Amino acid sequence: MVDVLNEPIVRTVMRRDGVGMEALQTLLRRAERLVTRRPDDDANADA
């Protein structure tokens, strides 16, 4: 993932959109947790 974030075109778009590296990495980590969460994790979250 870090390699893609260091691509010049990605950096240019991030700069244009006012997106910082730390904010984007935080968002991507959250998305990864949601995508990789197992179905039984939802049942345990209510317990």
pLDDT of residue 40: 74
Which residues of the chain have a pLDDT value below 50?
none
pLDDT of residue 7: 94
The model's pTM: 0.62
pLDDT of residue 41: 65
Domain ranges of the chain: 2-33
Cβ atoms of residues 24 and 5 within 8 Å = yes
CA-nearest of 17, 30, 37, 13 to 4 is 13
